[in-house]
Amino acid sequence: MPWPDRAGGRRERGARHRAGRGRRQCWGEIGAALSRRDPNVIAVSGTDAQEKLFSASNRGNYIALAAPGADIFLPAPDGKYQITSATSFSAAFVSGIAALILERNPALKPNEVRSILTGTVRDLGVPGRDDLFGAGQADALAAVSAVAAPAVPLAPAAPALDNTSVSRATEQPAPSMAADKSAANDAKSPAAQ
């Protein structure tokens, strides 16, 4: 069964899918078809440190946006670190931003998340949308800042309190503090006399 069909149930429940758009030799047409066929798939190309297209990244009119994917410093086995490149890191970057957007407003629909992601990018390449970077490079701060938090309903007002216990307490003498009692006890003790 092809991957999009297995994802069908998740799509119906509002799942968002991101697809790294690299490794042209193996993803190429399959990834392009998936991105075109399913509006919940957000095709992401990869960029390098100079904000140029990562050489292994795919290109095409289905690319929605770009994110860092080259020379990424990340943990490796045995407590080590490595620098590696792949558009799967670009997809993870965009997935993280989508998660932050949904944390701020969980009621957003997939097309709204996509619109926020593509509407808050930093334009790269030729002005406007292009086949290399899509709408542009993902900008996490701009995307999260663009999300309006849902209105939070106010809690119902608490019932009026019976203030009789408060007025009774004010008519009685104030209780003494522990330090006052200690001083009074010291004065009455045989050693103090």
> What's the mean pLDDT in 52-68?
91
Query: Pick the residue with more confidence: 96 or 36?
Result: 96
Asked whether the CA dihedral 11, 16, 21, 22 is positive or negative, the reply is: negative
pLDDT at 40: 80
> What's the mean pLDDT in 76-102?
94
Is pLDDT at 26 greater than 70 in this prediction? Answer: no
pLDDT band at 7 (very low <50, low <70, confident <90, very high): very low
Q: What whole-number distance in Å separates Cα of residue 180 and Cα of residue 19? A: 72
Q: What whole-number distance in Å separates Cα of residue 34 and Cα of residue 191? A: 92
Q: Would you state the structure tokens that stand for residue 16, as one six-digit string?
A: 């968002």
Query: Pick the residue with more confidence: 37 or 147?
Result: 147
> What's the mean pLDDT in 48-74?
92
Helices and strands (H and E) in the chain: how many: 8, 5
Instruction: Give the global pTM.
Output: 0.64
Could you count the other beta carbons within 10 Å of the beta carbon of residue 118? Answer: 17
The lowest-confidence range among 21-25, 88-92, 125-129, 178-182 is 21-25
- Using H for helix, E for strand and C for coil, what is the string for 23-63? CCCCCHHHHHHHHHHCCCEEEEEEECCCCCECCCECCCCCE
Query: Pick the residue with more confidence: 29 or 69?
Result: 69
Is pLDDT at 133 greater than 70 in this prediction? Answer: yes
pLDDT band at 4 (very low <50, low <70, confident <90, very high): very low
Domain boundaries, the chain: 3-145
Residue 75, C-beta contacts closer than 8 angstroms, at least 6 positions apart: 81, 82
> What's the mean pLDDT in 139-164?
77
pLDDT at 5: 43
CB under 8 A, 24+ apart: contacts of 59-63: 59/131, 59/132, 60/21, 60/32, 60/131, 61/131, 62/21, 62/32, 62/35, 62/36, 63/21, 63/35, 63/131, 63/132, 63/133, 63/134
Residue 192 has what DSSP assignment? G
Report pLDDT digits (tens) over 157-177: 666 665 555 555 555 665 555
CATH of domain 3-145: 3.40.50.200
CB-CB contact of 136 with 117 (8 Å): no
Report pLDDT digits (tens) over 102-122: 999 999 999 999 999 999 999
